[in-house]
Amino acid sequence: MAAVSVSGVSKRFGPVQALDGVSLDFANGGFFALLGPSGCGKTTLLRLIAGFDAPDAGQIGIGGERVDGTPVERRNVGMMFQSYALFPNMTVADNVGFGLRVRSVPWPERRRRVGEALDLVHLSGLGDRRPHQLSGGQRQRVALARAIVIAPRVLLLDEPLSALDKALRVSMQVELRRIQREVGITTIFVTHDQEEALSLSDRIGILRDGRLVQEGPPRALYERPATAFAATFLGEANLFAGPVDGGRISLGDGAALCPSGPPDPGAATATVAVRPEKMRVTAAATVPETGWNWLDAVVEQHIFTGSSLTYLLAWRGGSLKVFEQTLGEAVAVPGEAVRVVWRPEHTVPVMP
Amino acid sequence: MSGARRLALLGRAYLALVLLFLYAPVIVMALMSFNRSPFYTLPIRWTTDWYVKLADNDALIAAGLNSLLIAVVTAVLATVLGTAAALAFRRYDFPGKRLLQMLLLPPIAIPWLIVGTAMLVFFFWIGLGRGLHAMLLGHVALALPYVVVVVSARLSAFNPELEEAARVLGAGPWQVLRHVTLPFLAPGLVAAALFAFAVSFDQFVISYFLAVPGVSTLPVEIYTAIRKGFTPEINAISTIVIAVSTLVLVGVARVYRFGSAR
């Protein structure tokens, strides 16, 4: 059973349609990322689940129970805010214990559970500090401990790592995942950082302009994006569009791409997406393996980034991107004409 | 002497002058309350007679207690009402909000003589008349805008996510107010209450208009006494008032370190 289910939820703020008929099920114990550019409605969805706002249409259920009329304070959800929102007038232990205190949990049990929560986030011994005496990473751990100590039905994280610097962010990602696994709590995580979404979550939901674009496990979303937007927002992609001709996408000049699956049968034109690392740059006039897709382009630039090499190629007035592992082979230089080849199964039809 | 040093010296002289004008009259008054001569003659011959006499001056003492009572009640009422108003201004959008916010400020600028006359006329017109209750009403009305301004200033630094965090953790509206919002506002509330207390305790014009014979406040009583003829008992009670208010302010400043980042 889904821990949280959202069905047909819409929300409008004045002239802005923040959410438009979004339906999503969040599986029990899963780690779910809501990914999208700013203004896509992901934070609005999180706040609707928490109960800070009410949807204009649709239903929200937590633990199989409709929560439409339930106020925030009785939904029993944990939430971590972007600013962490630690209470400045309380010690770390009092911050973590706040949810238990307002639930009238007796003092000895409260103390034990606060101690356990601080252990879990590796902050035992700092219970007497005040929030302003902590580093950014420590504050975040306190906020996390405070959110999970009440044993909430779901944990909501609003861009929890965006205020940290890069190195700390990566170590907190690992930490967050460890804690989530240990506690086994259903987690919904809002982010605009696709890398974060890919590396942390079991499932990702991509939102755009208040609508759910696509939802699924990270690998599936990456390999089989459903739309051009999903392809370019989650990772990078080269897009090709052209008329459909005998199951192939014609690029003109007799060149045509063979897609991984049949394009939309009724459509006259189709768009396909190809991931840059799936393509290979070979010498001009190389005969590609049978069935492979290919096209001829000119190297504009190559950028060496250590373990990999990025080619920027000029093709028909547009630009292509190819990632290649640096294996010590010959490198095409700017101005050189090359042939780019890739397998048909990496040529994914997408909605434009 | 270099220009910078001359400037520094000038600055110190200026500071000394300001302090002199601020404190010299007060200090002279305090000294004279201990002087045997009622006519400010020097050298000072020390005595505490005036304080002993003051203890027998029932009118002054009663007026002092009235002042204290009105000021404390005003501080409490104005702080509670003003804080509620500041919270409402911050949290809700309602028709007429801008107008209400604008209406808060003119009473601070309107001369007290005019406000006092208006109140006197109005209170008689609605049958409220004069007396302690009328003075209290007048003082609370007068102190309210100060409280709203001071509390709003503090509130503007409040992160509303703190209240949301408390709610999501299970706190109802009153618990949020008690455990999160009010503790954050505390320095502002103390400052606002002090303001309200001072506005009331200092208040002469309105109290003078709204007092009835036999029930007046300290400033009114002092004024009446001076009109009958100055006695050094006035110095004595004034010195007590100065000492108490200075001690309270120093104490509060130590607790909350006004002006410095906490």
Q: Which ipTM was obtained for this model? A: 0.82
Answer for the pair A128, A93: CB distance below 8 angstroms, yes or no. yes
> Vertex B99, ends B97 and B103: CA angle to 5°?
115
Q: How many residues does chain B have?
A: 262
pLDDT per position as a tens digit, A99-142: 999 999 999 999 999 999 999 888 888 888 999 999 888 898 99
Strand partners, A293: A342
Nearest to A98 among B164, B169, B184 (CB): B169
- Is B183 near chain A, with CB under 8 Å? yes
Strands ordered across the beta sheet of A187-191: A78-80, A155-158, A187-191, A31-35, A203-208, A211-216
Which of the four pLDDT bands, split at 50, 70 and 90, describes residue B1? low
Please, what CATH class does the domain formed by B33-255 belong to? mainly alpha
- The predicted model scores a pTM of 0.79
B172 contact residues in A (CB cutoff 8 A): 73, 102
Name the residue of chain B whose CA is nearest to A149's CA: B169
CA A143 to chain CA centroid, Å, is 22
Q: What is the pLDDT of residue A46?
A: 92
> If we measure between CA atoms, which residue out of B161, B144, B162, B150 comes closest to residue B187?
B150
Contact across the interface for B168 and A79, Cβ inside 8 Å: yes
Distance CA A332, CA B28 (A): 93
pLDDT per position as a tens digit, A316-334: 878 889 998 877 677 788 8
Contact across the interface for B171 and A73, Cβ inside 8 Å: yes
> If we measure between CA atoms, which residue out of A122, A123, A131, A114 comes closest to residue A178?
A122
B180 contact residues in A (CB cutoff 8 A): 87, 89
Contact across the interface for A102 and B168, Cβ inside 8 Å: no
pLDDT per position as a tens digit, A8-46: 899 998 888 888 988 999 988 889 999 988 888 889 999
Nearest to A102 among B159, B161, B171 (CB): B171
- Is B91 near chain A, with CB under 8 Å? no
pLDDT per position as a tens digit, A195-226: 888 888 999 999 998 899 999 999 999 999 99
C-alpha atoms less than 13 angstroms from C-alpha of A16 in its C-beta half-sphere: 8
